[in-house]
Amino acid sequence: MSEQTHNETTENNENETNETENKEIEDIKNLEIETHKDEEEEEIIQLKSDQLEDLETELVVQSSDLKSQPIYSQGTFEELNLKPELLKGVYAMGFNKPSRIQANALPVIINTKNNLVAQSQSGTGKTGAFTLGMLNCVDPKLNETQVICLSPTHELSTQIYTFVCKIGQFTNIQPLLVIPDAIIPQTIKSQIIIGTPGKVGDFLQTKKINSKHVKMFVLDEADFLVGQRGMKDQVLKIQSYLPKNVRVLLFSATFSVGVDEVINRMVKEPNVRITLKRSELSIDKILQYYINCDTSDNKSIILSELFGYISVGQAIVFVQTRATCSSLTKLMMEEGFPVSQLHGDMTTDERDQSIKRFKEGKTKILISTNVTSRGIDILQVSLVINYDMPIDENGKPDPVLYLHRIGRVGRFGRSGVAITLVHDETSLKQITRISEHLSRPVNELQIDKLKSLSDILKNLKDLTPLKDSPTTTTTTTTTTSNSK
DNA sequence: AAAAAAT
């Protein structure tokens, strides 16, 4: 490896066919990095407010007419120019090599003043990237709020907060969690604020948070924060309280075209964009199946049968409504399963207790609404079940929501299983649409083969898909009885 | 329909 460094130092950087360079290009071939400079403005984008109608045809922000320029990935954390005490924290957490998004985003955050829109698949280290970026940019001698980081839910904010505490344990930097019911000091001097939009906005408005020295504004799950009615207004309002020259960093696994306009408004130039193509969004290591339950009533029966076979790992079961969440939880508990539940109708305390028990492994199953669909990182989870189909506000199948839900497994190169329950023609069509949209097979798992799920989960590393159904869902509609 | 402010 000393050869390589030797080569590079003697190489003219305009020689593009250099072998070592080619290797590096290979390495980051999935990334498109575009630098937008001041002058190249004036692109008129005609988007109808924040409608997501075009979702089915286009999922990813692509502005490919601008020259793309690769930024070479750096191999080690040492090379990233992090403060020594941060590097210590990195290694204390057991991280050896920066992930691709970390290797690509951190140089932009640390060595430039660019704003950033960064896309990377679920479970690839986005939190590590912006967390190190935030900690590194704080001036430890200034006891004022310098960074504000937003996420859509209490649990995700808590997770980010915990991560910042751990990785920053050798710094003097004290972050503060700003969510409902959190313990907040009389005067806020924390250099990093992490929280949900409502509470952070409230504190800025009432001047409990001094925005004067804020130089960095980070949004995790950015497309959701600026794409949801209500959330969007809160986020824009928060930015309006911050200094005009604040750096804006947006992170997510998905950026649909519906949020393009808001993002362009929020993220001033110069900015760097790291984007993924739609075909690169889905994690290969997640085995995706659907189970045909015939009727809606059968779903809970099949669910408990399914869990009867499973002896390893933990699972998250996603449902559509809070009501389903508590009724299904009750049902499963009556059947004797160790389940937790999580939804927005619970008190903060109940939510805390519930997720804590699940994280500790005291309950093996978490039944949840979409509140946990994004960002939540629990490594023991190897199975995601879509008890209810992921659908958007119009009742249409939602590939983005699906992607985020199943992204609760398959984190950091691990493998996992995602199962979607279907019960009628509509739901079958919906999962078919999602499968087509993501260009990923979602095979049928026959009910009489449920038992084999146990083996699949036990041998996740082998990743041999079931061969029951050779076709993808694109053709399965014709194989079931059509009564129409 | 869910989430996010507190009411």
Of the candidate CATH numbers 3.40.50.2300, 3.40.50.300, 3.40.1160.10, 3.40.50.2020, the domain formed by A286-478 belongs to 3.40.50.300
User: Of all nucleotides in the shown strands, which has a C1' nearest the CA of A230?
Assistant: B4
The answer to whether residues A113 and A272 touch, using CB atoms and an 8 Å cutoff, is no
Query: Taking the C1' atom of B2, which residue's CA lies nearest?
Result: A370
**Span CA (A104) to C1' (B1), Å:** 37
pLDDT tier for residue A319 given thresholds of 50, 70 and 90: very high
Q: What is the pLDDT of residues A450-478, one digit of tens each?
A: 888 888 888 876 554 444 333 222 222 22
Beta strands in A6-84 (DSSP E): 32-36
CATH topology of A31-277 equal to that of A286-478? yes
- pLDDT at A463 (0 to 100): 54
Q: What is the pLDDT of residues A399-416, one digit of tens each?
A: 999 999 999 999 888 889
pLDDT of residue A278: 84
Strand nucleotide closest to residue A195 (CA to C1'): B4
List all residues 6 or more positions away from A82 whose beta carbon is below 8 Å from its beta carbon.
Answer: A90, A106, A110, A132, A136
The residue ranking higher by pLDDT, A436 or A454, is A436
Distance A20 CA to B1 C1' (A): 52
Distance A114 CA to B5 C1' (A): 32
- The first and second tokens of residue A313, run together, are 């790992």
- Please name the residue whose C-alpha is nearest to the C1' of nucleotide B5: A198
Residue A391 (CA) to nucleotide B3 (C1'), in angstroms, measures: 15
Distance in angstroms, CA of A261 to C1' of B4?
Answer: 22
**Phi/psi of residue A108, each to 5°?**
-65, -45
**Which protein residues have their Cβ less than 7 angstroms from some atom of strand B?**
A 152-155, 179-180, 195-202, 228-231, 320-323, 343-345, 369-371, 392-393
Nearest nt by C1' to A351 Cα: B3
Could you tell me the residue ranges of all domains in chain A?
31-277, 286-478
Rg (CA), chain A: 23
**Mean pLDDT of all residues in A77-91:** 96
Name which of A452, A419, A472 is nearest A293 in CA terms.
A419
8 A C-beta contact, residue A156 and residue A375: yes
Task: Please state, rounded to an integer, the average pLDDT across all residues of chain A.
Answer: 81
Q: What share of chain A is helix, strand, coil (3-state, %, to 5)?
A: 40, 15, 45
CA A8, A9, A12, A14 dihedral sign is positive
Give the CA A412 to C1' B2 distance in Å. Answer: 28
Nucleotides on strand B with an atom closer than 7 A to protein CB? 1-6
Q: What is the pLDDT of residues A191-240, one digit of tens each?
A: 999 999 999 999 999 999 999 999 999 999 999 999 998 999 999 999 99
State the nucleotide closest to A233 in CA–C1' terms: B4
Distance CA A87, CA A368 (A): 36
pLDDT above 70 covers a percentage of chain A that reads 80
Q: Whole-number Å distance, CA A312 to C1' B3? A: 31
Residue nearest to nucleotide B1 (CA to C1'): A321
pTM across the whole model: 0.82
Task: Name the nucleotide nearest A323; use CA and C1'.
Answer: B1
Q: What is the mean pLDDT of residues A180-190?
A: 93
- Residue A44 confidence (pLDDT) above 70: no
What is the token pair recorded at A409?
Answer: 């497994």
Which stretches of A348-449 are DSSP H helices? 348-359, 399-406, 425-438
DSSP secondary structure string, A148-165? Answer: EEE-SSHHHHHHHHHHHH
Nucleotide nearest to A224 (CA to C1'): B3
Q: What pLDDT was estimated at residue A462? A: 53
* CA of residue A220 to C1' of nucleotide B4, angstroms: 15
Kindly tell me if the per-residue pLDDT of A101 is higher than 60: yes
Between CA A275 and C1' B6 the distance (Å) reads: 38
Q: Whose structure tokens read 């309280």?
A: A241
Q: Is residue A15 classed exposed, middle or buried when 0-12, 13-18 and 19+ CB atoms within 10 A define those classes?
A: exposed
pLDDT at A87 over 50: yes
Choose which CATH entry (3.10.20.30, 3.40.50.720, 3.40.50.300, 1.10.1740.10) describes domain A31-277: 3.40.50.300
pLDDT band at A329 (very low <50, low <70, confident <90, very high): very high
Residue A344, nucleotide of least CA–C1' distance: B3
| Residue A205, nucleotide of least CA–C1' distance | B5
A50 CA vs B5 C1’ separation (Å): 23
